[in-house]
A and B are shown apart, each in its own frame.
Chain A
Amino acid sequence: MALELHDGPLHVEEISNRWFNEMRDKNYGAYIPFIGIVRDEDGISGLSFDIYEPILESWFEAWQEKAKEQGAYLLMAHSRGDVPNHTSSYISAVVSPQRKVALKFINDFVEDFKASAPIWKYDIIDGKRVYAKSRSTALKGAGLLK
């Protein structure tokens, strides 16, 4: 399925190298990776994440189907739990026969990832997890039970 979840920060070199080696002989002409790095800002020592895996998997599968329709293929890795500043919590990549398709696809995919993937982010401040509510996006249908 090409979706992997890891406890703690991602081992970027291992994941990137493994994905590239898995894809290099599949005759895709373009490999476009996106690697997110946790920034040191607002006094945080890192970020922390909760993930609801059943809906994340079905969301990812739907995107993988869209990728297939364009001859492309998606890969994604995300962290669970604490991720210190200047390490990575998120990597995604798209491979495609054509560069233009892959560049557009990675942008659309990451945009929807931010808005729809069931992942909750917390700032780590003085060792405590503080929900990043102001940076979060309500999912489709929010407010149904209010």
Chain B
Amino acid sequence: MAKIEFLGPLNRETIEVDIKSLNDLKEMFKDDTELQEWLEICAVAVNDSLVCSLDTSIEAGDKVSLLPPVCGG
């Protein structure tokens, strides 16, 4: 199982899912209309590194984080 973290204003509990790639996660989220709005603007990190490919493979124990737009300072 991989952990999915929803950071900052996403404000959702962490979930655990059985996925092999980010493509699987995209598929899993496609019917979540509330989340869809956020997915357009969220970046994705796997084990705390930002990633840019849906083919990124996910192993058991990996941490996937969804990061909404940022504004520090």
Report Cα–Cα, A91/B70, bound state, in Å.
Answer: 17
Question: In the complex the two chains form, is B44's CB within 8 Å of A144's CB?
Answer: yes
By a CB distance below 8 angstroms, the chain B residues around A58 are 48-49
Q: Which one of A121, A136, A141, A145 lies within 8 Å of B39 (CB-CB)?
A: A145
By a CB distance below 8 angstroms, the chain B residues around A144 are 22, 26, 42-44, 51-54
Q: A52-B8, A55-B45, A141-B44 are in contact. Are A113 and B73 (CB under 8 A)?
A: yes
Question: In the complex the two chains form, is A145's CB within 8 Å of B7's CB?
Answer: no
List CB contacts (< 8 Å) of A96-137 with chain B. Answer: 110, 113-122, 131-133, 135-137
DSSP class of B's interface residues: helix, strand, loop or mixed?
Answer: mixed
Question: In the complex the two chains form, is A146's CB within 8 Å of B68's CB?
Answer: no
Question: In the complex the two chains form, is B69's CB within 8 Å of A139's CB?
Answer: yes
B71 within 8 A of A: yes
Chain A interface residue count, CB cutoff 8 Å, equals 36
B36 within 8 A of A: yes
User: Binary interface profile of A, 48-61, with partner B (CB < 8 Å = 1, else 0)?
Assistant: 01101011001000
By a CB distance below 8 angstroms, the chain A residues around B9 are 50, 120, 122, 131, 133
Closest to A88 in B: B73
Q: A55-B45, A136-B71 are in contact. Are A145 and B8 (CB under 8 A)?
A: no
Q: With A119-B72, A132-B71, A143-B41 given, can you name 11 additional A-B contacts, CB distance below 8 Å?
A: A50-B9, A55-B50, A90-B73, A110-B73, A114-B71, A120-B71, A142-B69, A143-B39, A144-B26, A145-B29, A145-B39
